[in-house]
Structure 1
Amino acid sequence: MAHGTAVLYARYSSDKQREASIDDQLRVCRDYCKAEGIEVVAEYKDYALSGKTDHRPEFRRMIANAPESDYVVVYMFDRFSRDRYDSATYKKMLRECGVRVLSASEKVEDTPEGGLQEGMLELLSEYYVRDLARKVRRGMEGNALKARDNGYRIFGYSTDPETRCYVVNEAEANAVREMFSMHIAGNSVNSIAREMASRGWTTTTGKPVDYNWAWRVLNRRAYTGIYSWGGIEVPGGMPQIIDEVTFARSQAVVPRKRRKDENWDVYRLTGKLYCGLCGKPMHGTAGTGKKGKRYHYYACRESDGCRRPWVRRELLEDSIADAVLETCSDEGRMRMLARRIVEAYAEPGEEEAEMASIEAQIASLEREQHNMTQAAMRGFVTDEMVARNDEIKAQLKNLHNRHGILANFRDEVGDLTEIRVALQAQKKCEPGGGFALCSRGVGGGT
């Protein structure tokens, strides 16, 4: 008879199973512990999670808390894991903590023969899962070849309970036809989704339909009569809701932005031009003259309360273009422009603060990487750890590159305070009625 303390672990794989399955497993485990004189100190339960993976929250919490007991008791060994490699890895980790896994239903002695028996049980459990998956896949492929429903709900169709083939759901099919007509007429996918939602159509989870749902409907070839599942296509396997011509016309529609005023104009200074009176961003706008000619301007928003008159787009943009060309032809002005950029993008101490932050991030990531290396040396390696290690490598590479750039930048710029003083002395235009071309909110007179 065993003695000591134990934690119980129970799980079931499918959300189609009953939660009572967990209670039944725990009841058997409690009876086993009572008969063996073992005290139960904790219980862990994973619902609707497969034993083929170790991505189970309660399972991982149990492993992390391993030293809290002498045993882990499960209903059967396949409840612990259905992957023999995971099973061996985690059982080894538990043994190193002085914890042994026991099955309440499978009598396995703590002997070499018992270890062989346990290994055979694990192998048979994994074989069962893989063989079942193969049989299920074969059955689903057979269904697909006969154009039968494989449990996949398609809007516009219902399933015949006898033949298990798709049949047209007239109410939904009419909505599908209307959606294609709306799309061909120029309505955006978003507007179509909003219209369908306003009529009460919902997803299979009961939520109002959205853009993604509408996009899938408008790109589903099943409506033209083609059945498709897992790479298998059966022409004529679906009742046709729309013809090929309608589908092709919908696919040929080029998505475009829409607004009340369809005349989209380019305002190159948007986001860069600030008013010298109110200090707020100026935006592009347009108006039509008496003879129908369209004129373009930059203006302040009425809500900002600025009384500055609108400024013609061509006048302002051409002036800026001329100034840029003139500046680019003068080496002295180019140097001044470079210094002004430095002034805008590097406040005093900014690069030092960023470098310190990067160094702290590098140190933290290297500590995490070291901890995972130590865990790997003890035999604890998971897919999550491998993926996280790859992420850390990529992050460290980017951080080191950025650190090197900042170091070179600091060496080249020198003392930014002196640059700031020089710039202030050389300013030719103060704010008060002009415009400012700005980046990150820092501007100079133009």
Structure 2
Amino acid sequence: MPRRRSSTPRSNAGRVILYVRVSALMGRGGDDFHSPDVQADGMRNLIARENLREVGVIDDDIDESGRSLDRPGIRRIRGMVEARQVDVVAVYTLSRVGRNLAESLEFIKWLRKHGVSIISATEKIDDTPEGQFMVGMWLNMAELQSNQIGQAWARVIERRARLGRPHGHAPQGYTRTDAGYIVDERLGPAVREMFTAYAAGAPVAQIVAAYGAARGTPIQRSTVKVMMRNPIYVGRIVLDSSTGGKIEVPGQHEPLVDELTWARVQRRMATDRQTPPRHLAAAYSLTSLGMCPHCKRNLQIWHSTEHGKDNQTRRIKCTRRNQIPDADCPGIGTPLYAPIEREVLRAVEEYAAKLRGDPGAREAQLARVVQAGRNVKGLERELNRTKDALIRLTEGWARGDVPDVAYEAARQRFADAEAKLAAQLEHAREVADAPPPAQVVQLVDEVLDLWGDMTEAERNRGLKTVLVKFTVRRGVWPREPIEDRVGGFVWRW
């Protein structure tokens, strides 16, 4: 019969360490919060009755959740146990060890394996089979309570968000108060300027550097991009819906960005994501201006030979046709770039001459500006009514007057209508803000006079002040002049 291994008694038996942990509050309070003093007093009363000797207190007062045992205090206990410096671990309740049943049981088994017992000031546990059963039961109850608290808190967060009150740390540009988010006096204007500059087409590197200087520390480009995708800055809050998916609701905080700037920023970001970085800075005078009349995609500019890359070797082709040879788009062929550029400049000059010498053209433009101004006021009223309706819908849902399914369907309709109205409003504002015909003519004259001395990027910016798009069609016969295939000009004003 094999000899049973005898355990060597420890010297100074009865050494007990008191473990204190405060529940993760996250702004809460209540019966589940036991202060460190209350916990320590309860454990000292217990060890006095059990004739144990206190050798220290380990305090995990770090406002950290008990769902994980990867905590500084637990790591210190493990170190003391392995160094044979403790015989008993005392807790106020077993829930102080943790609210994760599997990990807590594993930790208690680990203590027993090293000859260390665990005692509770509020629960009757011992080394009997019944006592071990009670350990599992108490830990099960702790995990159940943790799950219930988590679900209840998630519902509180969602309901607060539905009412326009955000939860968590304030994003850059805001300060958190008891009443919600308020604009930070120092960073708020810097965030607003960051959005404005990006919407106006400023280089991202310049924006990142300017914002980093405003806040006093450098910032990553990726962080700036994340900020510009956060709808909190336009006055909306994103939350995970209980019915699945993410939704946006109006917030009660002051927006830093107006709807027009927000729409421009999101469109530019969408374009930048689809455009290789080397193409974001215009390399050619006609970059992003030419369009295929068949598939409505931008035209691609390329060089037909590796021997030199001047204007005479450039050609232009349909992006979709080039990427997908068997696409349903017939493409435009590969016409030379130089005659297309000359035709675009001729059309720009003709456009300016018409504004300069045709009273009817000037009057028509002024009429469009006046009508756009009227449209702006009407669209603003309609957009505000849509936002107010969405707020009332959200408040009705929060009171329980609107069922979840009906709320989701109506909210989506209002959100779609809001996006459509915002796009229409942006276009109307651009037309309403058009410079007078004489100023447009002056802009064109300056571009044409300085054309030979400008870089490709400067030429591109100059053309975009008056031109939105033009098209190049496929030739009808083999030797059809390229100039005859250019048309479809869309002017900005």
Superposition TM-score, scaled by structure 2 size: 0.44
